[in-house]
Structure 1
Amino acid sequence: MIVVLGVVGAVVLAGTPARGAAPAAPAGPARAAAPAPGPPPAPPARPVRGTLNIGDGRTVGIAAPIEIRFARHVDDRAAVERALRVTTSTPVEGSWGWLPDENGGSRVHWRPKEYWPAGTQVRVDAPLEGVPFGGGNVGAADLSTSFRIGRAQVVKADARSFRMAVLRDGRPVATYPASYGVSADPGRSTRSGVHVVTEKFTDKRMTSARYGYDVVQKWAVRINNNGEFIHANPASASAQGSANVTHGCVNLSPADAKAYYDTVQYGDPVEVTGTPVRLSPRDGDVSDWTRSWEQWQRLSAF
């Protein structure tokens, strides 16, 4: 110990304990501060599946749209549309368009600018697995299909002539006497515009509380989801070819309805003219051809 004389007490240099003082306890490690709480982890993304309306290997009509329907709403439409590809054996101009979905999901259609060229081979690729849909949703799986456009069959349904003509590859193949909806009643008027065949039934029950009927009709070809069919109806036989008396459907004789039924496939166009009420997007979920090409392009996400 070093002592400075002449001074009351003593100065203790560092490292030398004072007399009688207990030795200092050694310093321990510094205690780390508790981390600040971070944001809660994001919930896992919900996988959403899509479905294609045209299966592998099918042959469809020249007005058939390609539809991909999603079980949940798609917020990021651009991300989804960017992943979609349509490849054709011959050049075909077309565009995707997003349409309303009454089931709470989303749906997107691809429509050519004009009717598909007959015989076109079409492939659709939708590599959607992992693609962010927005809103916490993500694509669950990839989709693809390959199909063919068949012969170019078009129905020319002129309500003013009380006839229905069938053209195949530009040539007339049949003309049938027909009866259309009552023009004086907008609720019964057949809609003018391009309809698309979506289903057909050998027997179809048709009901209307408003007009008070419940009947089963044969050889029924659905041309819209608003209740319009081309079908056999013996009850209107006397008017077929001379008057429009139906509730909006196109009525044919049983023999003519069967002959037409046997030729149709999904996607065939039915062009109705000569009625006062136009077909609109509100008349069904296959309303692609109710819009001009410019209007259709505006439904794209881009």
Structure 2
Amino acid sequence: MVFKAALAAGATVVVAACSSEGSGGSGGSNGQPAADTPPKAKITAEPALDAKDAPVAKPVVVKVTDGKLTEVSLAGDSGKQVKGELAADGLSWTSGEPLGYGKTYTYTAKATGSDNKPVELKGSFTTLKPASQNRATLNPIDDAQVGVAMPISVKFDSPVKDRAAVEKALSVKTDKNVEGAWGWLSDTQVDYRPKEYWPANITVSVEAKLYGVDLGGGVYGKSDVTTKFKVGRNQVVKINTPDHQMHVYRDGAKVASYPCSNGLDSDVERNTPVGTYMIMEKKEHAVFDNARYGYTNVNKKWACRFSNHGEFIHENQDNAAAIGKTNNSHGCVNLLDADAKAYFSSALIGDPVEVTGSKLGKQTQSDVKDWLYDWGTWKTLSAVK
């Protein structure tokens, strides 16, 4: 005959075979166990039986004292077994995969005590059920090769209330020691950037272990996301707008200079904005429209966007007379066709573009503005102090 003791949260279940009493039993003359009677096995579990709102990302652990586990199973609502591993010493079992939200799980655990008698644990618990789930995406994507100014960006489907909880679930690993920090650019976006540009030719691995994380207001992370990408060679574009020249540097050495025409000097709103930007996208053919300045469906080649304010580096052979001599664009950097093609071929998404010399200040309304902040200011954008 076996019996089960009720297991409240954090309590211990003791299950043992009944023993007879009297002179034929194992007790002493006073009816108490003999001093050399082996102790009975005790099985404990976390989450405990009948627990409510159990966490889904924390491993389930079953332990035994004064005995060894012989069998442990944990099944979900559908009967599917949760993966787990029994320790080599037989003293514990640990689940090896996360649990589902709002599910009921049933334990069955068996052990043999030091007294060679079997004990058993049976019962169930339920996991937490979020009010809603928030999905996150990571950029750069797996296997991407990017420039040295490329930030890591985590974007959410809906606003995050507990930003610190998110940051604590994020990790960045690199081949070399790199000082960096997370900064919130909005309530749905947190970016990581290094203090200085990334070292060239390193691999960066990112984990966002958000599943099961309370993001505030009853909202939980929908899933974990990861990425692993490579930083390419160090290439930096430098433009001092009054010079009408665009210089390209590799590893600090100038490798190319191209005559250019930048934003019209006499109209601040048409200036190419100052600040450190980065190449965001590349298009062999691009169509430009700007109703404010009266042009639509203007086709240009070799276009590299470097700001969500609307600036590109692109071919404008139609403006050849001004290139290298006069700034007359609407903010873009105009190059001759051959030069634009040569630069386009060399550029990576994430390459920095450093602009100086104009009167139009930094354009921080973009969601790609990481390098427009000095390092001290950037660190204040973190929710973890």
Q: How big is each residue's C-alpha offset from its partner over 1:171-217, in whole Å with a ceiling of 9 and x where there is no partner?
A: 21110000000122122110011011010101111111110011111
Aligned length: 256
Partner of 1:227: 310
Aligned pairs for 1:60-209 (under 5 A) are: 60-100=146-186, 106-209=188-291
The SS at the match of 2:212 is: coil
Is it true that 1:210 corresponds to 2:288 in the alignment? no
Shift of 1:43: 7.6
Q: Using the TM superposition, give the Cα deviation of residue 260 of structure 1 relative to its aligned residue in structure 2, in angstroms.
A: 0.4
- Mapping of residues 283-294 of structure 1, within 5 Å: 284-294=366-376
Residue 44 of structure 1: how far off its partner (Å): 3.9
Q: Give the Cα separation in 2 of the matches to 1:178 and 1:290.
A: 23
Following the alignment from structure 1 to structure 2, what is the Cα–Cα distance between the partners of residues 150 and 200? Answer: 16
Aligned equivalents of 1:79, 1:239: Cα separation in 2: 53
Partner Cα separation in structure 1 for residue 130 and residue 314 of structure 2: 50
Of 30, 48, 52, which residue of structure 1 is paired with 2:134?
A: 48
Query: CA offsets per residue over residues 92-121 of structure 1, 9 Å max, x none?
Result: 0000000126xxxx0100010000010121
Q: Give the letter aligned to residue 275 of structure 1.
A: S
Identity across the alignment (%): 50
| 1:276 corresponds to | 359
TM score, norm. by length of structure 1: 0.83
**Which structure's CA Rg is the greater one?**
1
Give the conservation status (yes or no) of the 8 Å contact 2:132–2:220.
Answer: yes
TM-score, with structure 2 as normaliser: 0.65
The separation in 2 between residues aligned to 1:160 and 1:189, in whole angstroms, is: 11
User: What is residue 28 of structure 1 aligned with on the other side?
Assistant: none
CA distance in structure 1 between the aligned counterparts of 2:233 and 2:275, rounded to whole angstroms: 21
- Mapped to 2, the partners of 1:286 and 1:78 lie a distance apart of 21
Structure 1 residue matching 2:133: 3-state secondary structure = strand
Distance 1:52 1:115 in 2: 20
The CA distance in 2 between the partners of 1:154 and 1:229, in whole Å, is 15
Aligned amino acid, residue 372 of structure 2: T
**Alpha-carbon deviations, 1:66-96, whole Å to 9, x = none?**
0000001000001111110001110000000
Q: Deviations over 1:267-300 (max 9, x none)?
A: 1000111111122312x11101111101000000
Matches of 1:183 and 1:242, distance apart in 2: 12
Q: Aligned AA for 1:198?
A: M
SS at match of 1:210: helix
In structure 1, distance between residues paired with 2:274 and 2:294: 24
Q: In structure 1, the residue corresponding to 2:207 is in which secondary structure?
A: strand
SS of match in other structure, 1:217: strand
Structure 1 unaligned residues grouped into runs of 5+? 1-41
- Matched residue type, 2:158: R
Q: Can you give the 5+ residue segments of structure 2 that lack an aligned partner in the other structure?
A: 1-127
- For the aligned residue pairs, the C-alpha RMSD in angstroms reads 1.2
- Structure 1 or 2: more strand by fraction: 2
SS of the equivalent of 2:200 reads coil
User: Which residue number in structure 2 is paired with residue 33 of structure 1?
Assistant: none
Give yes or no for the alignment of 1:263 onto 2:346.
Answer: yes
Counterpart of 1:176, as a letter, is Y
Q: CA deviation at 1:230?
A: 0.2
Name the SS for the 1:248 alignment partner: coil
Structure with higher RCO (Cα < 8 A, 6+ apart)? 1
Tell me, in whole angstroms, the C-alpha distance in 2 between the residues paired with 1:44 and 1:156: 49
The structure 1 segments of at least 4 consecutive aligned residues displaced by more than 4 Å after TM superposition are: none
